[in-house]
A and B are shown apart, each in its own frame.
Chain A
């Protein structure tokens, strides 16, 4: 079984939003934190490290993200979306804030450090390439998703980056999601039935 398929299968089990677990987390249960970490850390780390492209920073940011999840879990509202979405937004904001920090830019500007780091993460860069179902998308759809989801760009930044009008960019995202859905169709159908069943 290749790695992406493994994660995909893993995601099936992870996909069900475990309400009981989240409720335990909200009550500051350390075991719940450990389980939530096991469930979501790899997905979030994948986002963080692709955004900052710096393993050390990504490790700190991941820990920081989970500390915020731990501290602010009482603010998570089931009605406003899935737990992962909430956690993703925290990870994304933390990483963007880190990337905007002046000292980080200085660090980048320091060529010797930058060079070393580039070498250091070269091995990782290959790992950071997107894999799995997204590869089946048309390149411009793939790029659109990558920019907003894994690079943390806003739609406005991303459409400029891709040099297409905002409306066009939005339709790229929507089509990309539609095609992803077709790839996941069986999975999604199964999940929706499951979710409906749970409700």
Chain B
């Protein structure tokens, strides 16, 4: 149905009066959505009929309204609880789904959280370890640096203690700096002892042997106690933990200082 046909044939009036069959009505409704001016023409016709009807209005008895409201209310209470429970059920289903999703989500997040927490702990531990390592390395570096500085110091004298017949393979390099008052030895060529014994170093001061400390063979470079006016350096094998006096029979090497 085109616009001109609708207008010329007075189809809108028939539409308002409800005289069109279903397919005609549908065609008019399609045309109405297509042509806004047709829509406003319809509205004008509707308003005319509506105004006419209001002019001819007759008040209906109150009984009609009362009966209507009672019936509607009855129907509402009859249908609403049904639809209410139906809605309620679907709401419950929606709520249950949401709860389910939330639960699954929560479990997932909890697991994620624990994993993350564990990972974080691991990383923290590793970090701590690395920090310790870095500290150790820094300390080692400091030690090495100071040892290096000491060795390269022009005032440092180098003495090599060679093993006697008791231990011919033993060699200890010692660096003595009288101005810095320090003694450092290199234990690299000192054979390992059993757990019962330790090497101990002694300084000879006017015939008296003074303890310079136990030699830890696990450390390559080792600082010993500096003893003033030492005439010679001596290393003996002593029971583990060291001795107060040197066991002369167990002297493995000695060197006289300049």
Contacts and interface: CB of A to CB of B under 8 A. Distances in A.
A89 B19 CA distance: 9
Interface in B40-55: 42-55
Interface residues of B, number: 44
A23 interface: no
A130 to B, nearest CB: 6
Nearest to A135: B55
A67 B46 contact: no
Contact of A148 (B17, B47, B50): B17
A174 B13 contact: yes
A7 B29 CA distance: 31
Contacts of A122: none
B55 A133 contact: yes
B154 interface: no
A46 B50 CA distance: 12
A59 B9 CA distance: 36
B72 A11 contact: no
With a 10 A CB-CB cut-off, give which of A49, A85, A154, A170 has the most chain B CB atoms.
Answer: A85
B69 A30 contact: yes
Given A42-B60, A177-B45, A181-B48, A88 B53 contact: yes
Contacts of B42: 81
B196 interface: no
Contact of A80 (B32, B53, B69, B73): B32
B44 A79 contact: no
Given A81-B46, A188-B44, A43 B72 contact: no
Contacts of B51: 8, 11, 15, 133, 180, 184, 187-188
Contacts of B240: none
A170 B49 contact: no
A172 to B, nearest CB: 10
B52 A173 contact: no
B123 interface: no
Contact of B9 (A47, A63, A170): A170
Contacts of A71: 75
A89 B18 contact: yes
Tell which of B9, B18, B29, B51 has the most Cβ of chain A within 10 Å.
Answer: B51
A30 to B, nearest CB: 6
A191 B42 CA distance: 14
Which residue among B10, B42, B76, B80 has the maximum number of chain A CB atoms within 10 Å of its CB? B10
Given A132-B55, A155-B19, 16 more contacts: A8-B54, A33-B69, A43-B53, A45-B60, A59-B61, A59-B63, A59-B64, A63-B64, A71-B75, A81-B42, A84-B50, A89-B18, A92-B17, A155-B14, A177-B45, A180-B48
Interface of B: 9-10, 13-19, 29, 32-33, 42-61, 63-65, 67-69, 71-73, 75-76, 80
26 contacts: A7-B56, A11-B51, A28-B76, A33-B72, A41-B64, A42-B59, A43-B50, A43-B54, A46-B58, A49-B58, A59-B64, A67-B68, A67-B71, A67-B75, A70-B68, A82-B43, A82-B46, A88-B18, A92-B18, A131-B55, A131-B56, A134-B55, A174-B10, A184-B47, A188-B47, A188-B51
